[in-house]
Amino acid sequence: MSKSVQPSLRFFYPEALHIRTLQFLDTLEQAEDPTRHANALGDLVVELTDIGMDYYFLKPLEQAGVGFVLRQSANLGMAGAVRVIGPVIRKIIARLDHSQLLTISAYLRQLMR
C-alpha cells in the first residue's frame, strides 16, 4: 500500500455540525488574526472529539445490545473523559499561533474529505 493511500476510519456526524464546521473554518482561514478564533476552534475540536468517542465506542455498545446499566456506565465514563480532555485541548489550541491554527484548520478539512 502506498503512503498516499492509507487505511482510515471515519465517523458520521450531524449535517448541522458539518455546515457549522465549514463556516467556522472559512471564518478562521479568512481572518486577519486567526488567534482571535482560537477559543472557538478549541470548542469545535472538543465537540468533534465528543461525537467521535460516541460514534466509535458508545454506538457499538448500543448495537451490541448491552444492558442499560452498562450503557449508562459507558456514557458516564465517556462524558468524564471529555470533561478531562476538553480543557487540555482548549488550553493547547489557545496557545497556537497564526500558522499553527491554520494548519489545524487544514487538517480538519482533510479529515472531512
pLDDT in tens, the chain (113 residues): 566 778 988 899 999 999 999 999 999 999 999 999 999 999 999 999 999 999 999 999 999 999 999 999 999 999 999 999 999 999 999 999 999 999 999 999 999 98
Reported for 27-34, long-range contacts at CB under 8 A and 24+ positions apart, including other chains, are: 28/101, 28/102, 28/105, 29/102, 29/105, 33/98, 34/98, 34/101, 34/102, 34/105
